[in-house]
Structure 1
Amino acid sequence: MKKIYFAFFLLALGLNVQAQEATLKSDQDKQARAMELMSEKVDIKVDENLFMAVTPNTYVSESPKAVIMAMKVPESYAEAKKKINDSQDNKFKVKDRGEKTINGVNVLFMEGTSEAEGVTLNNTIYCVAIDENTCLMFIGMVEVGADAKYTEAITEAANSVIKK
């Protein structure tokens, strides 16, 4: 049960970073589109020896605490860029943010630390444009001090979704 709460905490953190502001007519339409996009399966390769699936796009490890999550969001790359650059949250301490190229693709990124259930986590967030009104968000979190294989598994999972 803790895994599910932990996954929902991470989902809330991801949604906090990327608020849902699609260019649709009403808030209900925006929410419906967001829910539809977030429920779509993302093609992601995750080391299932280290992570257990809790939803189709969310994988967790209980000990050490680590999470891999991918989701589509109803937001343009420009909107996502503005939000990542303007994002300030006392619960998330940003170490670095900006744009870089991964696998030949321009991505937005933000790295920092957060706390969940009394554990400090290193966080990496990537945002990739899918089309003019949709982005793919990738979130990887791992407990500070965890074995390097968890960080490597998160990097491999990110590389599996960030592609031309």
Structure 2
Amino acid sequence: PPQVAPQFLADSPLAAASGFTDVDQHTLQHVRYPNVFGLGDAGSMPNAKTAAAARKQAPVVAVNALRQLDGKGPTAGYDGYGSCPLTVERGKIVLAEFGYGGKLAPSFPTWLVDGTKPARLSWMLKADLLPWIYWNGMLKGREWLAGPGGLIAQ
């Protein structure tokens, strides 16, 4: 189903015509209010609203918000990364990882996890390893796989 913004956001002056927070898709900074940033399900970025996307957006917002507080411009950029594990049969998924425009953006070497083909290893990663990383790493403030993107041309 199509993703829609919460009504309170869509009705606010922060919203774009889409109803989501009107942010630059790379800096995640609001296009009219430079002290406002948006990410995750609230942002107007043209990508899937997934936890994997929010995980990659958070460091970008953190870096750019701190720079804004210091009176400096944004330097971190978001590339549209998202991930969607697609179950094709019990015990096999396609671990689709992509950036803006559907460009493939794999986190793992293709010889290990090919995001274009169903695999049992991808299933095990999603079912066993990623939940452990979430509960024992991410929720405790430790992030091993995400960081702010490259510098934006000034």
TM-score, with structure 1 as normaliser: 0.25
TM-score, with structure 2 as normaliser: 0.26
Indicate the structure (1 or 2) with the bigger Cα radius of gyration: 2
- From the two aligned structures, give the one with the greater strand fraction: 1
Greater RCO (CA < 8 Å, at least 6 residues apart) = 1
